[in-house]
């Protein structure tokens, strides 16, 4: 099934002598040739996200000569991005990601056009942003945007080149409802909020997005040129620890709400409400609600006043080894439910973690068990290091 983008007009483009030299290793491949390179120059692709997956993806699409590449992101480059987001560099810290990525892409290949969309990709603008592009490539790290990307692609009849990563594992596929299943066929409903941790909470091997992002770039080029067997109807599962690749066959769901026989989703919806989580890749700011939050300044005052309370750190022991507060007690999140009997229902507790997201969940657990005097440290130990004790490391 050599599925391809049908409408590319190669007779409208020419390659200069400089481009012929640049792409010469493509031109001598019988699967690509001059005609295939012209298809790449005629094509347009939208990369949603310029982070871990978007970095290798955008670099290789630019190097390959895809004529128009759109970049969607709203964030700035931070130091902790550089372990995996290789399109950016130390000199770009503080710069807009889309601008940093564009400069690197044009340095690799000045013959491509890079369009910047420095905004959040959401229900109000997604259709307009995606409309001019042939292929949409999902390089995000949250469920609301994944469902949004899928629905935009189905409604516009475009391929969705999908990738996801977590710790040492990655997935890749091509969802194109015209030719096979869509993302909703595989995942009709999102997981409950908090069940699947983000890379910000669970971590990711820095090399992993390079592997998956490169696969996404490969699938994009195959679709443009019309060669090989695309990952339509197949989900590629990659395990970096075991160095294995497995494949799961996917089938179109006749009851899919957007691409099935009885379509019920005919326009974009509120994806944050649908998934019960925010539509962004940034780290959770650790808020559990005004009634339950305590700021790092308030915690410092309680400690200086020698108030009687227990400070419970729910991170893992290997995170504790990186940095911790002397007053804190370590009870990892997974072990805390089994130690509920040790919590005095009349006592006062402050829960903390790295950013406040996991500890907010534990606040909910304790309050549901009748422990009312419990607070969540807003921003976690990162906020403490940033605002109270700059000598502590931030991870």
- Secondary structure class of 152 (helix, strand, coil): helix
Q: How far apart are CA 314 and CA 331, in angstroms?
A: 5
Asked about 353 being catalytic, the answer comes back as yes
> Which residue, among 358, 351, 286, has the nearest Cα to 312 in the 3D structure?
351
> Which residue, among 380, 374, 194, 383, has the nearest Cα to 291 in the 3D structure?
374
What DSSP designation does 338 have? G
Contact in structure between 129 and 121 (CB atoms under 8 Å): yes
Torsion angles phi and psi, residue 192, rounded to 5: -60, 145
Angle at Cα 243 formed by Cα 239 and Cα 247, nearest 5°?
55
Q: How far apart are CA 110 and CA 5, in angstroms?
A: 24
Radius of gyration over every alpha carbon of the chain, rounded to an integer in angstroms: 24
To which H or E segment does residue 47 belong? strand 44-48
Q: How far apart are CA 107 and CA 104, in angstroms?
A: 5
Q: How far apart are CA 286 and CA 203, in angstroms?
A: 17
Please pick, among 182, 199, 256, 259, the residue that the annotation labels catalytic. 199
Asked about 199 being catalytic, the answer comes back as yes
Q: How far apart are CA 130 and CA 136, in angstroms?
A: 7
Please pick, among 153, 182, 275, 353, the residue that the annotation labels catalytic. 353
Q: If you search the block for the tokens 């500890």, which residue do you land on?
A: 359
What DSSP designation does 302 have? H
Instruction: DSSP for 307-324, please give it.
Output: ---EEEE-S-HHHHHH--
Q: State the catalytic residues.
A: 199, 353
């Amino acid at each position: 099934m050599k599925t391809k983008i049908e409408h590319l007009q190669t007779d409208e483009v020419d390659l200069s002598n400089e481009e012929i030299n640049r792409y010469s290793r493509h031109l001598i491949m019988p699967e690509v040739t001059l005609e295939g390179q012209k298809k790449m120059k005629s094509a347009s692709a939208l990369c949603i996200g310029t982070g871990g997956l978007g970095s290798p993806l955008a670099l290789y699409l630019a190097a390959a000569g895809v004529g128009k590449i759109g970049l969607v992101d709203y964030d700035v480059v931070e130091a902790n991005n550089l372990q995996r987001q290789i399109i950016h560099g130390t000199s770009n810290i503080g710069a807009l990601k889309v601008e940093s990525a564009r400069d690197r892409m044009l340095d690799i290949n000045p013959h491509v056009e890079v369009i910047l969309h420095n905004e959040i990709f959401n229900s109000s603008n997604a259709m307009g942003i995606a409309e001019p592009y042939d292929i949409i490539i999902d390089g995000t790290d949250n469920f609301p945007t994944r469902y949004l990307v899928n629905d935009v692609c189905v409604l516009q009849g475009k391929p969705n080149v999908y990738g996801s990563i977590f710790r040492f594992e990655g997935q890749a596929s091509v969802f194109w409802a015209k030719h096979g299943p869509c993302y909703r066929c595989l995942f009709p409903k999102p997981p409950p909020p908090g069940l699947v941790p983000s890379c910000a909470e669970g971590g990711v091997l820095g090399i992993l997005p390079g592997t998956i992002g490169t696969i996404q770039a490969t699938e994009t080029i195959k679709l443009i040129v019309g060669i090989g067997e695309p990952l339509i109807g197949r989900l590629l599962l990659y395990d970096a620890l075991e160095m294995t690749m497995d494949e799961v066959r996917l089938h179109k769901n006749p009851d899919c709400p957007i691409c099935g026989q009885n379509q019920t989703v005919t326009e974009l919806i509120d994806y944050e409400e649908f998934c019960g989580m925010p539509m962004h890749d940034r780290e959770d700011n650790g808020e559990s609600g005004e009634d339950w939050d305590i700021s790092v300044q308030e915690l410092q005052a309680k400690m200086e006043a020698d108030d009687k309370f227990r400070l419970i750190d729910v991170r893992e022991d290997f995170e504790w080894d990186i940095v911790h507060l002397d007053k804190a007690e370590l009870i990892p999140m997974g072990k805390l439910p089994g130690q509920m009997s040790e919590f005095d229902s009349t006592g006062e507790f402050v829960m903390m973690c790295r950013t406040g997201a996991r500890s907010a969940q534990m606040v909910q657990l304790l309050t549901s068990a009748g422990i009312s005097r419990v607070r969540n440290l807003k921003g976690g130990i990162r906020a403490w290091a940033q605002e109270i004790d700059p000598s502590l490391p931030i991870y």
